[in-house]
Chain A
Amino acid sequence: MTRTCLFALLSHWRRNPLQLITFLTGLALATALWSGVQAINSEARASYDAAAATLDEGQYDQIRARGDGEIALSSYIDLRRTGWQVSPIVEGEIEGLRLIGIEPLTAPGGFTGVQLDEQVSLGSFLSTGAVLIHPETEEDLSGNLFQNMEIVTNRNVTPGLAFTDIAIALELLQRERFSRLIVADQQPLGRGILEEVAPDLIVQKAEHTADLGEMTDSFHLNLTAFGLLSFAVGIFIVHGAIGLAFEQRRGTIRTMRALGVPLGKLTVLVAFEMMFLALIGALIGVALGYFVAASLLPDVAATLRGLYGADVTGTLNLRTEWWASGLAIALLGAFFAMTGKLWSIARMPLLASAKPRAWVIATGRTRLFQAFGALTLAAAALILLIYGSGLTAGFVLQGCLLTAAALALPLLLDRILSLLQRSSRGVISHWFWADTRQQLPGLSLALMALLLAVAANIGVSTMVSSFRLTFVEFLDQRLAPELYINVEDAAQSRALDAALEKHARESLIVLSTRSEAAGLPVEIEALRLGETYRENWRLLDGSPKAWDWMEDGEGVLANEQFARRAGLWTGDRVTLQEGPEVEIVGVVGDYGNPLGQLYLDETLFLSIYPDAVPVRFGARTDDPIALRDILTAELGIPASAMTDQAAVKEFSLQVFERTFTVTAALNVLTLSVAGFAMLMSLLTLADLRIPQLAPIWALGLTRQKLGQLELIRAVALAATVCLFALPLGLALAWILLAIVNVEAFGWRLPMFLFPFEYAQLWLYAFFAALLAACWPALRLARTPANALLKVFANER
């Protein structure tokens, strides 16, 4: 019996391949975008974990030299002698690779992140010299680097990083001093006091080290939200396809029951059939997701490097967590989409009407439920807006708002169509609007999907474009110097400073150190105050006299990130870890930077960090080429150490553009999925429309005219949806800019409107709707007359 029943059930799909395609494609698309995003996230997280484990970031306290200097061997020996359990680290760049030298005998357990014994013995690590790198890094290695060394590859090592014994690293980097010391968890009680043993060193607490995972959470949450949105749109398609399959098989199910198939068995078989198909769709989706992730990952890696300095591998691994979660969520989604239908089968009286209905007509109860849901979610959004805080609250607010709008859409459209129906005078237009209203329940899921996709596009494009405008303006302010020059040591720095004094209109320094203030990690930056800062830097908070107060050493500036995180604004006082308490005299916008910063006048900075030497300068000049030549001639600074403003700007903008490549790609994909949802809804409805259209055809409307009306209907509905999508998208943009961005990055961006972009998006949406309606309309226009006649012959 099971085989016979399954054969009959599955034969439906063979006879209705379009529905099968809809079902599988919907689920595959939903799963693809979801699992693709999850794949990217899990790959990135694995890279952070590897980085954290390898570099020990966030796990152990570290000892650093004040002012970002290096640590002498003597200081290290003094600390060990007085009982400090510390292990030296040396790190530096070599041929574009970050080389880290460790001392394995003193390194705390688990510090290396890679178990040496697994692949390379401690003996060979110390004696013959072994270097641990990521397999991807090995591919990019130049031939001469690490010559005569054993190269060991391990996926747990962060890409772009090489890991070797400290003696070899010191030799390769041509250094004599250490970069930092790792402090083991267990320290003897009677150890010496750091300030007495090595007064030039400070301890940096583990919790103050930047945690990449935490910093990038917002980025991944953003991706996840996109993935979820796409998944929701995909599930709409699946829901529609399942609904239609059930509706069309009501008759078959009734007949099977009448012929003696028990209801329980039938329900189990239908559930099995659906889950089997869902599994196929989900597997296709996971495979597609792999390709989506693989193609987006390089851009994501660039984004994370640009925004957070986080190194993420550019190649994708098939990790269980993402493909299994992709399969699980797809099957769950399909299961929920079919549960209601299964329930209706279980409750369907055996002799219930078997006539195919053009979808379940929205009953008063369903409408009431939708209205109640929309109002509840809108109220929840309002409460979150007023009382909510944190990134998650921001995303939940978005979710509530979008779902409320989606639920309200069919009700609003119904009201509008009802008005149009009442106000129409011609008989055809009256029928047209009434018929459109009748189609609404069948199309509402596709229209909801379109609303969400267009609103998300408007919201995200407003956010990105506002960001771009602000960022470009910000770059113009910040990158005022026409030429940037790098030097290698203190002597060169002094010589360059003197030369710039003579040849440049104004010289600026790039000098900073990491410290902490108000209990937060902070970057202290020195500003050589002059006309440039006064003219270009825009204060978000504070009086114009701030510059004078700073110059007098009476105050400091803070960036918005620090002000928000510490809750300290103009007029508040802050104590620097190594220095005095100072007043914040102003707050500046600092976009694209995850770190909190405090800006001190150069004199005040040097009084606190006397050993600090600027190794990067900015020069204001009318003739950067001439200045470049002079500096090369006088100081022997190579051309490669000098960068002009345009190149820096171009690089910064490149980083920015790549940052949003992924967002743009996901935008397009979501809109495409919504267009597909509409196409499938219209196509599947088209078959059920024949009995409704046959009488109209018989009364004198040609099939061509009916096809044209179908096209007009799709475009009219899409236009109305787009109209609703605008305020919703703008609300979304506002939430992204005023809540999510502030929580995620620590800065608030001004919101700009981009009517041209919206108009363009509307055109795309119309085009998608038109394209989606074309095929069904064409099919209708070409419907053979006998297919329409069969309706009257009761032979369908």
Chain B
Amino acid sequence: MRQIGTTLVFPLLETQSLLELTRIEKSFVGNEGKIPVLKGVSLSLAAAESVALTGESGSGKSTLLHIAGGLESADAGTVKLDDKDFSHLKEAERADLRRKKIGIVFQQFNLIPSINVAANIGFQARLNGEFDAAYIDHLAETLGLKAQLQSYPETLSGGQQQRVAIARSLAARPKIILADEPTGNLDETTAGVVLDQMLALVSETSAALLMVTHSSTVAARMQRKVHLSGGQLT
């Protein structure tokens, strides 16, 4: 809630974008020359909104997700997060934004192998100075990781590792979670359980969720679905 003059103005969450990608273009140079992957893609996400990003392999879904997370730069277009355009920010500033406002879940988990599960979950929160032991305990409890907190990633199953990655992405209470096929490496049953847990926790935090997925079942669980094809969203 913001106060302007003497009038109280309530932000219109439904209409105001949290993440706004405008006319994003991206090409890669291959053996056959420049290959355009994203051709002026625009997408916006409101706070607490969940969006599934689908598309064929190689359609540029992950690239768009990386651009949304400031992991990769677009050739053209702007990326605004919480009203701040970070498409032209320096590396350190983008890192700062990512640390404070974005949670990322990778398909390959990308946990830090040398620290235990508890330290992995709390890593990003500690980076921000927002470590909340009770919340992390709650995340571990909800994701069924309590017994594994002192274990190291290499001793966990794929499903458990992905749960740790999800917990890590939520522990810093980000405004948006970017998930790149978080259940792509898991069997159907485990994937279903992990997705349930993830969606429950995301809704608790009111964070927005942009999830890349191949699965129509997973996509159906999101509030909205966008499809990337031929470098454009449909």
- Quick check: which of A8-16, A324-332, A374-382, A511-519 contacts chain B, the rest being far away? A8-16
CA distance A254 to B91 in the complex (A): 14
A16-B66 CB under 8 A given contacts A4-B123, A795-B157: no
Contact of A4 among B98, B110, B127 (CB under 8 A): B127
- Does any Cβ of B come within 8 Å of A202's Cβ? no
B8-31 interface bits toward A, Cβ cutoff 8 Å, 1 = contact, 0 = none: 000000000000000000000000
Tell me which residues across on chain A come within 8 A of B152, comparing CB atoms: 15
Query: Is the pair B92, A351 in contact by a Cβ cutoff of 8 Å?
Result: no
- Smallest CB-CB separation from B103: which chain A residue? A259
Within the complex, the shortest CB–CB distance from A277 to chain B, in Å, comes to 15
A259-B115 CB under 8 A given contacts A1-B129, A254-B110, A794-B185: no
Within the complex, the shortest CB–CB distance from B157 to chain A, in Å, comes to 7
Query: Is the pair A351, B72 in contact by a Cβ cutoff of 8 Å?
Result: yes
Q: Considering the complex, which residues of chain B in the window 110-134 have a beta carbon less than 8 Å from any beta carbon of chain A?
A: 110-115, 119, 123-124, 126-129
Tell me which residues across on chain A come within 8 A of B128, comparing CB atoms: 1, 260
- Quick check: which of A33-41, A261-269, A584-592 contacts chain B, the rest being far away? A261-269
- Smallest CB-CB separation from A264: which chain B residue? B92
A12-B99 CB under 8 A given contacts A259-B124, A260-B127, A795-B157: no
Query: Is the pair A8, B66 in contact by a Cβ cutoff of 8 Å?
Result: no
Query: Is the pair B158, A351 in contact by a Cβ cutoff of 8 Å?
Result: no
Tell me which residues across on chain A come within 8 A of B157, comparing CB atoms: 795
- Does any Cβ of B come within 8 Å of A5's Cβ? yes
- Does any Cβ of B come within 8 Å of A255's Cβ? yes
Contacts across chains A and B counted by CB atoms under 8 Å: 87
Query: Is the pair B112, A260 in contact by a Cβ cutoff of 8 Å?
Result: no
- Does any Cβ of A come within 8 Å of B199's Cβ? no
- Does any Cβ of B come within 8 Å of A539's Cβ? no
- Does any Cβ of A come within 8 Å of B71's Cβ? yes
Within the complex, the shortest CB–CB distance from A580 to chain B, in Å, comes to 84
Q: Considering the complex, which residues of chain B in the window 99-114 have a beta carbon less than 8 Å from any beta carbon of chain A?
A: 99-100, 102, 104, 106, 110-114
- Does any Cβ of B come within 8 Å of A538's Cβ? no
Q: Considering the complex, which residues of chain A in the window 223-271 have a beta carbon less than 8 Å from any beta carbon of chain B?
A: 251-252, 254-265
Task: Name A's interface SS.
Answer: helix
Contact of B113 among A251, A262, A263, A794 (CB under 8 A): A251
Tell me which residues across on chain B come within 8 A of A256, comparing CB atoms: 112
Within the complex, the shortest CB–CB distance from A318 to chain B, in Å, comes to 38
Within the complex, the shortest CB–CB distance from A543 to chain B, in Å, comes to 79
Query: Is the pair A262, B92 in contact by a Cβ cutoff of 8 Å?
Result: yes
Number of A residues, CB within 8 Å of B: 32
- Does any Cβ of B come within 8 Å of A350's Cβ? yes
Within the complex, the shortest CB–CB distance from B1 to chain A, in Å, comes to 27
Contact of A350 among B72, B115, B185 (CB under 8 A): B72
- Smallest CB-CB separation from A251: which chain B residue? B110
CA distance A795 to B69 in the complex (A): 26
Query: Is the pair A260, B110 in contact by a Cβ cutoff of 8 Å?
Result: no
Within the complex, the shortest CB–CB distance from A312 to chain B, in Å, comes to 49
- Does any Cβ of A come within 8 Å of B56's Cβ? no
Contact of A257 among B95, B115, B168, B185 (CB under 8 A): B95
CA distance A653 to B91 in the complex (A): 70
- Smallest CB-CB separation from B102: which chain A residue? A260
Q: Considering the complex, which residues of chain A in the window 1-26 have a beta carbon less than 8 Å from any beta carbon of chain B?
A: 1, 3-5, 7-8, 11-12, 14-16
Tell me which residues across on chain B come within 8 A of A793, comparing CB atoms: 158
Q: Considering the complex, which residues of chain A in the window 256-314 have a beta carbon less than 8 Å from any beta carbon of chain B?
A: 256-265
Query: Is the pair A1, B127 in contact by a Cβ cutoff of 8 Å?
Result: yes
CA distance A8 to B99 in the complex (A): 16
- Does any Cβ of B come within 8 Å of A796's Cβ? yes
Within the complex, the shortest CB–CB distance from B213 to chain A, in Å, comes to 19
Query: Is the pair B127, A259 in contact by a Cβ cutoff of 8 Å?
Result: yes
- Does any Cβ of A come within 8 Å of B96's Cβ? yes
CA distance A339 to B171 in the complex (A): 35
Query: Is the pair B114, A255 in contact by a Cβ cutoff of 8 Å?
Result: no
Within the complex, the shortest CB–CB distance from A180 to chain B, in Å, comes to 72
Within the complex, the shortest CB–CB distance from A78 to chain B, in Å, comes to 86
- Does any Cβ of B come within 8 Å of A354's Cβ? yes
CA distance A362 to B119 in the complex (A): 36
CA distance A265 to B96 in the complex (A): 11
- Does any Cβ of A come within 8 Å of B196's Cβ? no
- Does any Cβ of A come within 8 Å of B154's Cβ? yes
Query: Is the pair A260, B98 in contact by a Cβ cutoff of 8 Å?
Result: yes
CA distance A254 to B127 in the complex (A): 15
CA distance A251 to B98 in the complex (A): 18
Tell me which residues across on chain A come within 8 A of B97, comparing CB atoms: 260
Within the complex, the shortest CB–CB distance from B106 to chain A, in Å, comes to 8
CA distance A3 to B115 in the complex (A): 14
Tell me which residues across on chain A come within 8 A of B66, comparing CB atoms: 351
Query: Is the pair B72, A259 in contact by a Cβ cutoff of 8 Å?
Result: no
Query: Is the pair A263, B92 in contact by a Cβ cutoff of 8 Å?
Result: yes
Query: Is the pair B115, A7 in contact by a Cβ cutoff of 8 Å?
Result: yes
Interface residues of chain A, those whose CB is within 8 Å of chain B, are: 1, 3-5, 7-8, 11-12, 14-16, 251-252, 254-265, 350-351, 354, 793-796
- Residue pairs across A and B with Cβ atoms less than 8 A apart, 20 shown, are A1-B99, A1-B129, A4-B126, A11-B115, A15-B114, A252-B114, A255-B110, A255-B111, A256-B112, A257-B95, A258-B71, A259-B98, A259-B127, A260-B100, A260-B102, A262-B92, A264-B92, A351-B72, A795-B157, A796-B154
Nearest 9 CB-CB pairings of A with B: A260-B99, A262-B92, A11-B114, A4-B126, A262-B95, A260-B98, A15-B114, A12-B114, A255-B110
